Structure 1
Amino acid sequence: MNVMETALSGMRAAQQGVQVAAHNMANVATPDAQRLQLQRAAAGQGGVEATVVAADPDPTAPLGDLLAAKAEVVAFAANAAVIRRQDQMLGSLLDRNA
């Protein structure tokens, strides 16, 4: 797996994390709504694999969900910066070899 694919897998996981946090926040007042949690694992070739699983009820969860959503936004931006930098480096290499 190359740098671009690794960063993309991180962006996909971060996107799923934001969706999970949004789901949990949207259903905070719903009595029987299932809380969700994102589990991450290292992918065999590099990068990350994310799986959405059911989570136990937690009365302090709304605050955790808000913080998790913010952390996922930061993780997404960091992976996007890696992709931007990879693109810049490739462009510089191509310019140099042209």
Structure 2
Amino acid sequence: MNVMETALSGMRAAQQGVQVAAHNVANVATPDAQRLRLQRGAAGQGGVETTVVAADPDPTAPLGDLLAAKAEVVAFAANAAVIRRQDQMVGSLLDREA
């Protein structure tokens, strides 16, 4: 797996993390709503694999979910920066060879 694919998998994981946090916050007042959490693991070829699983009920969780969503936004931006730098580097190499 190359740098771009690894960064893209990180972006997909961050996006899914925001979705899980949003689900939990949106359903905090819904009786019998299932809390979710995102499990991450290393992909076989590099990058990140994710799985959404049920989480234990937690009355203090909405604050944690909001903070997790913010952290996912930062992770998404960091992976996007890696892709931009990779693109710039390849462009510079191509310009030099031309």
The residue aligned with 2:18 is 18
Q: How much has 1:31 moved relative to structure 2?
A: 1.0
4+ residue segments displaced more than 2 Å: none
TM-score for the superposition, normalised by structure 1: 0.99
Q: How far does the alpha carbon of each residue in 1:48-95 deviate from its partner, in whole angstroms, 9 at most, with x for none?
A: 001100000011100100000000000000000000000000000000
Q: Which runs of 5+ in 2 are unaligned?
A: none
Q: Percent identity?
A: 94
Q: How far does the alpha carbon of each residue in 1:23-63 deviate from its partner, in whole angstroms, 9 at most, with x for none?
A: 00000000100000000000111100011000000111001
Q: Which runs of 5+ in 1 are unaligned?
A: none
Secondary structure at 1:44's aligned position in 2?
A: coil
- Matched residues, number: 98
The residue aligned with 2:38 is 38
Q: How far does the alpha carbon of each residue in 1:1-39 deviate from its partner, in whole angstroms, 9 at most, with x for none?
A: 000000000000000000000000000000100000000
Give the RMSD, CA atoms, in angstroms.
0.4
TM-score for the superposition, normalised by structure 2: 0.99
